[in-house]
A and B are shown apart, each in its own frame.
Chain A
Amino acid sequence: MTDWALDMPQWLWGLPLTLLPLWRLPLRSAPCSWHALLPADGASRAVDLSLRLAGAGAILALLLGSSGLHRREYTVERTGYGAHMVLLLDRSRSMDDSFAGRTPAGGEESKSAAAERLLSGFVSGGRNDLVGVAAFSTSPLFVLPLTENKAAVLAAVHAMKLPGLAQTHVSKGLAMALSYFGDEPTAGSRIVLLVSDGAAEVDPDSELKLRRWFKEKGIRLYWIFLRTAGSHGIFEAPDNPEDDNAQARPERYLHLFFSSLDIPYRAYEAEDADALKRAIADVDREEQRPLRYAERVPRRDLQAFCYLAAALALAWLVAAKCMEVAR
């Protein structure tokens, strides 16, 4: 599992140097007339051995430190509950309004702020999702690819609090969200969670492409529609049949388009923060399937430990040198 590696293995040519301290002690020699008269002493032999090993160890540790010893980055297969999920967030300017359709004042919360708060809670909950983030307004914004790094996802979600940009162009956003998923089959489910407060007409070209991709990639789609008070819902049919077209009621037609995709699809209409919370809890509950995913453990530099070991060994050698008999 662990995999050790060096950045500059050419330093290892210095390894024979580690034999030097084993051969000679770094102390000045004191002439002695006859060894046979020196009493055998265990403590002295222990000090002798420790000095030799400290010398060899110091050189070895310095060499390993200089050559950049590290543990390589590796991936672990883990099984968890969650899904591959792309959060597709609406960054249109209207998201900065409150649910009442006004610029938030006083204690009111804007739609984007509510969505940010609740989605943050959703992401930091104990799920093992692979989450990607994409946003769209007039054009799609690539924010974050699929990752298990929760901090990055949270940061991307927090970015929703920044003021919105312009229009709502949902088909390009969907296309981008779908492009996050590769062609390979996956163990967990693939989800696109679309959070928007409006919709736009899907042009025929995009429609064809989206139909194909949704089908091919096996996507499950959730749409949380943040309904502003007084606006049209996605489920209600207009009273006036003349109004029943994509230009007048883009939300309804987008819903119809999604329903006709023949994929698992659910739409929620959230008229306030609580409704949004319920919708998110619903998604959370439904998408709890076993998921096998690979977690990347980043590279770990071990140079600091090498240098620490070398420093300790050298400290012992210096101490021994200070204890040397002066002649």
Chain B
Amino acid sequence: MKRKEFHYRLAWRTDSVQPGAHPSRQGGGVHAFQRLVPFQAHPDPRRLHLRASLGDPAGHFWVRLHEQRGRIAVFALADLSASMGYRGRVSKTAVVADFTEGLALSSNRTGDAMGFVGLSDRSAPDFLLPPTRQVGAALKLAERLRGFRPTGGSARGLLHAVRYLPSRRGLVFLLSDFHFPLGFLKQVMESLAHHDVVPVVLWDPEESAPEASGLARMQDMENGMERLMWLRPALRTRLSQTFLERRDRLVAMLRGFGREPLFLSGGFDPDAVTRYFHAG
């Protein structure tokens, strides 16, 4: 079986009191030194700091406080509108399922709880998995996703996603093709501002740079509108150009929300996700 795990890390400290793998603001652990506190505040004689205690003119005892790393909840928030049923080199729902599997294994390895919310045009999710540390539940959900045919006419439901996420700040992977207006994306990102949102853009080489040439009756998967395209080298160049421009716009817009988007083109690549977190 192909390796699907990836490593993620946070650039912020969690408030979580549960021990875990991520930097946190909680003291009392055994990791990095945080500060000196009076013995009364943290009565742990093993951490007594001799030099500070002896040098204290008032004769108070000081103890070292070390960081306790914390656990977070990671979420996969999937856009399951009809356009996510696009099958290019690989089907996009299959990529979502792959990513969910990878995230389930990775979060389990890291010790985090993992949840899943799949939304389309309604406020009620098509798929919902509350945060759990049972990796099997997420794997089962990924299996069900593979057989799922998205039909929702839009991604409006993403605006309600925050209702299914925990109140404590977590890491949210927003899996979508981002084929909706930037204004809508802005609303979604604002509603999720409480969380650390990693936008994962699922595109397919077939849609951005098709290799076929000839006549194609393009049918929009969400509103059913049809347009005839005469695919020829000139038009293919313009099509890829459009996608490049769209990519630049997405990057510029999402950078304003603190994260650059992660582009997964043509399938789920765990190393690409790892690189996203650790390189640069």
A interface, CB within 8 angstroms of B:
24-25, 27-39, 41, 43-45, 47-48, 51, 320, 323-327
Contacts and interface: CB of A to CB of B under 8 A. Distances in A.
B228 A39 contact: no
B144 to A, nearest CB: 22
Interface string B218-259: 111111011111111001001101110010000000000000
A34 B220 contact: yes
| Chain B interface bracket (under 10, 10 to 19, 20 to 34, 35 or more) | 35 or more
Contacts of B217: 25, 27-30
6 tightest A-B contacts by CB? A34-B179, A48-B228, A32-B218, A325-B216, A29-B219, A33-B83
A25 B235 contact: no
A25 B242 contact: no
B213 interface: yes
B86 interface: yes
Nearest to A25: B217
**Secondary structure of the B side of the interface?**
mixed
B214 A323 contact: yes
Contact of B239 (A33, A38, A326): A38
A34 B87 CA distance: 13
Contacts of B1: none
Contacts of B228: 25, 27, 44-45, 47-48, 51
Nearest to A32: B218
Nearest to B225: A35
A35 B227 contact: yes
Contacts of B177: 33-34
A31 B219 contact: yes
Given A30-B217, A36-B179, A41-B230, 19 more contacts: A25-B217, A25-B226, A29-B226, A31-B87, A31-B221, A32-B219, A33-B207, A33-B221, A35-B227, A38-B218, A38-B239, A39-B241, A41-B235, A44-B228, A45-B228, A48-B227, A320-B215, A324-B214, A327-B212
Contacts of B179: 33-34, 36-37
A44 B227 contact: yes
Q: Which of A33, A36, A41, A323 has the most CB of B within 10 A?
A: A33
A174 B93 CA distance: 101
Contacts of B221: 31-33
A41 B238 contact: yes
Contacts of B230: 41, 43-44, 47
Contacts of A38: 218, 227, 229, 239, 242
A41 B242 CA distance: 13
Nearest to A29: B219
B216 A324 contact: yes
Contacts of A30: 216-219
A326 B212 contact: yes
B246 A37 contact: yes
Contacts of B86: 31, 33
A326 B211 CA distance: 11
Nearest to A321: B215
A41 B230 CA distance: 8
A271 to B, nearest CB: 84
12 contacts: A30-B216, A31-B85, A31-B87, A31-B218, A32-B219, A33-B83, A34-B179, A39-B239, A41-B229, A43-B230, A43-B232, A44-B230
Q: Which of B230, B241, B243 has the most CB of A within 10 A?
A: B230
A104 to B, nearest CB: 78
Given A27-B228, A39-B235, A48-B227, A32 B214 contact: no
